[in-house]
Structure formats: structure tokens, C-alpha cells
């Protein structure tokens, strides 16, 4: 079992690298979105209702580093909501239904840990490209709301390649230092459910 408290001291050494990478992702996203004239707001099909999986130890640790700064009562409330969301999603999946549960960090339409949100929460929504080491250049479309508002007119897709590569380098280095080999495939709710610190 991997616990954030066991990794927090090691993560402090690279936290600034992760923050810098995420800040540059945010800036690149804003520039690309502005090129299309797209503003992510007022969407009925909120991204926070989408079941995103996150796969890196550094995303887990960065999210928990922000979570650890919340007041204990707020942490407890979020843990309870995360457990409820995790259970609801599992029930939908068991019944063959598409899960449609709000992320436990969304309160009143805003993310409680917005500054610490994972990578896909930062990059989702606009057209993008990245160079896959085997498949070559891959194009990804924008979300439904982007298509409704912007279609295919103007702008340039966000190139995620350098961000993916740098994230992989930081992840690999951190895992080696931490001695962690377990794979991760967790939603935000799963990351925060139960004790709030347990990864697996």
C-alpha cells in the first residue's frame, strides 16, 4: 500500500518542478483556447462529471499536497463525498450504465483544489496533438461544447508532446527515488476516498 505521508518528504523536493510544469500547461492551454476564441465556462456537460483516470504518482502526490493543507473538517467532508461518488460510479458500471457523478472537489461549480488539479483537468476541451513514439503524430478533437461554439474555424491545436515527455521524465525520476513500481489508474474520487491518503 502506498500512502502519501510516506512520500511527502520526497515529493517536497520536486513539488516546484511539478508546479512549474502545470503552470506552463495552463499558459499553453489559455493561449491555444484564445486562438479559437474559446472560453471554458457555462457548460451544461461539465468536465467534472466526466470519469477521467489519472496515471502518475506525481499527480497523486500533488493533489494530496493541496488536500493536506485543507482544514480537517473540510478534508473529512471531501473524503465522505469521494467515497459516495466512488460507490455511485461502481454501481453504474455494474449495471452497464455510463457513470455521471460530479467530482467530489467541485463545490458550487468551482474546484476546491483547482491549483492542484491533475493534468487532464488542465488540458481537456480543445483540439490537441502529440507525437506518439510508435504511432507518430496523433490528433485529438475538442469537447462537445468546443465543437458547438467554435467548430473547426481558426486557431491551432495545442501540442501536448513536450508536456507529456517532461511529465514522464519527472514521474520516472520520482518513482525511482521512492522505490514505487505499482501502476496507477485512479479517478480523483478514488484518490481521495476512504482514508484520503491511500493510493492502493
79 domain-assigned = yes
Helices (H) and strands (E) in the chain, counts: 8, 5
Q: What is the pLDDT of residues 65-97, one digit of tens each?
A: 999 999 999 999 999 999 999 999 999 889 888
Q: Are 196 and 68 spatial neighbours (Cβ–Cβ below 8 Å)?
A: no
How many domains is the chain partitioned into structurally? 1
Q: What is the pLDDT of residues 7-61, one digit of tens each?
A: 888 999 999 999 999 999 999 999 999 999 998 877 766 788 888 999 999 999 9
Q: What is the pLDDT of residues 92-125, one digit of tens each?
A: 889 888 888 899 999 988 899 999 999 999 999 9
Q: Which domain holds residue 44?
A: 4-192
198 domain-assigned = no
127 domain-assigned = yes
11 domain-assigned = yes
131 domain-assigned = yes
Q: What is the pLDDT of residues 144-178, one digit of tens each?
A: 888 888 876 678 999 999 999 999 999 999 999 99
Cβ neighbors of 33 (< 8 A, separation 6 or more) are 39, 40, 125, 126
pLDDT at 185: 92
161 domain-assigned = yes
Amino acid at each position: 500500500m502506498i500512502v502519501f505521508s510516506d512520500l511527502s518528504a520526497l515529493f517536497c523536493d520536486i513539488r516546484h518542478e511539478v508546479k512549474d510544469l502545470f503552470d506552463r500547461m495552463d499558459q499553453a492551454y489559455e493561449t491555444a483556447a484564445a486562438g479559437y476564441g474559446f472560453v471554458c465556462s457555462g457548460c451544461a456537460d461539465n468536465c467534472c462529471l466526466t470519469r477521467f483516470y489519472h496515471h502518475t504518482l506525481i499527480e497523486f502526490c500533488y493533489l494530496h499536497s493541496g488536500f493536506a493543507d485543507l482544514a480537517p473538517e473540510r478534508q473529512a467532508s471531501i473524503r465522505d463525498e469521494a467515497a459516495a461518488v466512488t460507490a455511485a460510479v461502481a454501481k453504474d458500471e455494474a449495471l452497464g450504465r455510463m457513470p455521471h457523478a460530479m467530482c467530489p472537489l467541485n463545490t458550487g461549480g468551482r474546484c476546491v483544489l483547482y491549483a492542484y488539479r491533475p493534468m487532464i483537468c488542465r488540458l481537456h476541451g480543445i483540439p490537441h496533438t502529440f507525437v506518439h513514439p510508435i504511432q507518430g503524430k496523433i490528433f485529438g478533437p475538442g469537447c462537445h461544447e468546443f465543437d458547438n461554439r467554435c467548430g473547426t474555424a481558426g486557431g491551432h491545436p495545442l501540442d501536448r508532446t513536450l508536456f507529456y515527455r517532461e511529465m514522464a521524465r519527472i514521474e520516472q525520476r520520482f518513482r525511482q527515488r521512492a522505490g514505487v513500481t505499482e501502476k496507477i489508474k485512479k479517478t480523483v474520487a478514488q484518490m481521495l476516498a476512504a482514508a484520503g491518503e491511500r493510493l492502493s
